[in-house]
Structure 1
Amino acid sequence: MPASGEMNPIAAGRLLRADLRRAREAVGLTQIQVADLLEWSLSKVARIESGDVGISIPDLRGLCAHLEIGTAATEVLVQRAQAARRRGWWHDDRAEIPPALLTLIGLESDADQVGEYVSAFVPGLMQTPGYAAALLHAASLGAEERQLDRRLAIRLRRQANFHEQREPPDTSVVIEEAVLYRRVGDRQVMADQMKRLAELSRRPYVTIRVLPFEVPLYRADSFTVIRSEVTGTVVYSEARLADALFEEGPFLAHFESQFAELWEAALDADRTGQLLHRVAEAYAADDDPRPWLWD
């Protein structure tokens, strides 16, 4: 388990809240009872446990005393609270990042495994600058150029932080075959993007599989499963109307099962690599590849 000081603020905050909630339940106190003991409002207790607000170090020490948390354990929680108050690289760009995606970004650096399914576009962690820029321009009609440049910089910074970790998490990705043929930008952009996917698939921590059209299995919404021995398992679902995070058992089991089915139905890594190369070559030749051209 990493020291609290080494954790990013989002992961540290999640651990702190979970530990405080478990400690409160272990001594049999409700949120109302804690509020009465500390002369806080019920809203304050609830918002601390939900993560809507942080907790000061003096308040944390007082809470630990009432929850019968020992001295050593209290110091661990204090370290987590201090880590949670630090500014992540995304701090100045929070307004450009949806809350659920912000949590996902924060958890990626402490993940042990990442499983991702995408149905419409290449995963954000694997997009080339050209593909990402073209996609942002198409999806952000009316946005100012400066804002688009900022969003692109955020996406590229997220990629760099993920892939340049000393030990990146084991990453398994299922990509709908339609993603390979959906033009984002011009043919050269697509050729570069397919080559990028092929290059990433050769990295030891990355496995990419394409889900072919002939498989009668499909999900409209993309999703990501983040697994960590430290922070647990969380699912980020990229829905059309609003992104969402799922942390409860039944939801997690549903997405885990869905990913396992999609993974087993997809082409294996070797056949996926062959397909990516053939599609990349077609785009590079200024052609538009079609699925029915392949064996």
Structure 2
Amino acid sequence: MASRRSPTARHRRLMAELNRLRENSGLSRVEVAERIGSTDTTIWRYETGLTRPKPTDVAALTTVYGVTGQERDSLVQMAREARQRGWWHRHRQALKPGFDSYIGLEAEASVVRSYEPLVVPGLMQTEPYARAVIEATSITHTPSEVDEKVSVRISRQRLLHGSSDPIQLVAVLDEAVLRRRVGGREVMREQLERLVDLGRLPNVEIRVIPFSAGAHAAVDGKFCLLSFPEPEDPDLVYLEQAASGLVPEDPEEVRRYTLMFGSLTAMAFGTEASAAFIAQVAKEL
């Protein structure tokens, strides 16, 4: 199990556990609320993630559900961890709605599978490339806000390099990602060379879908799949738009994107051919 811990991921697990325990108990939210001296709305907010319960609240709920010993201690500790603040919390005002939650989930993920049709994934961007992308897309932001967003993006990259359990990254890139000259010739060459270097890491896999592959299942846009080290935490998909990010909780939606990613990897070059292709594009610059 990964040693990384994220309040966002801990909260997601706690929410699921509280739902499961109440359903297994056969009690309604009204009945649970009566037993702990609360309201059914409060129980609903705990179970839907709108409110992060205090450790004392979770302890009271475990008594109602008959949970004791190590399982009870684990849930109470999870509540403590869920109420902490990750490093990204102080930057939430500079980020698009929903993206701070994604960063929190990414921080505890064991595997990230990313499809990008237009730009290099944030986890692999050089700082000059990241700045060029952010300046182009943050047309209403001040220079200081751009600086903050660049800082957040670079800080996330510690997941690839800065821990004893680095995240596993599988990135599928459309050829357009390599051809679009973001930031100019020198910035783009440096970025492509970074991709070649990253592809040599044991925890990074990069595949390129060439233009010649034609249409594919993800022509509608980018997406990212996260997997977690504990089997109780289901995979999730993150969908990003210009003004917001979304994490659908429907398992069927996650399954659909998982199948899409498998289709993309089947169409893409292998890792060695992709590395050679990226290096050739860089040489052309």
- C-alpha distance in 2, partners of 1:79/1:259? 35
- C-alpha distance in 1, partners of 2:163/2:220? 31
Secondary structure in 2 matching 1:208 = strand
Secondary structure in 2 matching 1:236 = strand
- C-alpha distance in 1, partners of 2:243/2:86? 27
CA deviations over 1:31-79 (Å, ceiling 9, x no partner): 2322233332222111111221111222221111111111332211111
Give the aligned partner of residue 181 of structure 2.
183
| 2:26 aligned residue (22, 25, 28) | 28
Listed as ranges, the gaps of 5+ residues in structure 2 are: none
| 2:144 aligned residue (146, 153, 177) | 146
Q: Which moves more between the two structures, 97-106 or 271-280?
A: 97-106
- C-alpha distance in 2, partners of 1:234/1:112? 12
Give the aligned partner of residue 90 of structure 2.
92
1:236 partnered with 2:234: no
Q: Return the offset for 1:214.
A: 1.6
One-letter identity of the residue aligned with 1:120:
L
Q: What does residue range 1-295 of structure 1 map to in structure 2 within 5 Å? A: 1=1, 7-215=5-213, 216-217=215-216, 218-230=218-230, 231-240=233-242, 242-283=244-285
One-letter identity of the residue aligned with 1:7:
R
- C-alpha distance in 2, partners of 1:49/1:126? 35
Secondary structure in 1 matching 2:260 = helix
Listed as ranges, the gaps of 5+ residues in structure 1 are: 284-295
- C-alpha distance in 2, partners of 1:137/1:101? 17
One-letter identity of the residue aligned with 2:10:
A
Say whether the 8 Å CA contact 1:109–1:162 is kept in structure 2.
Answer: no
Give the aligned partner of residue 286 of structure 1.
none
Secondary structure in 1 matching 2:172 = strand
Secondary structure in 2 matching 1:174 = strand
Q: Return the offset for 1:2.
A: 5.8
One-letter identity of the residue aligned with 1:31:
R
- C-alpha distance in 1, partners of 2:97/2:8? 11
Q: Return the offset for 1:96.
A: 2.1
User: Please, what is the CA RMSD of the aligned residues?
Assistant: 1.7
One-letter identity of the residue aligned with 2:237:
V
One-letter identity of the residue aligned with 2:174:
E
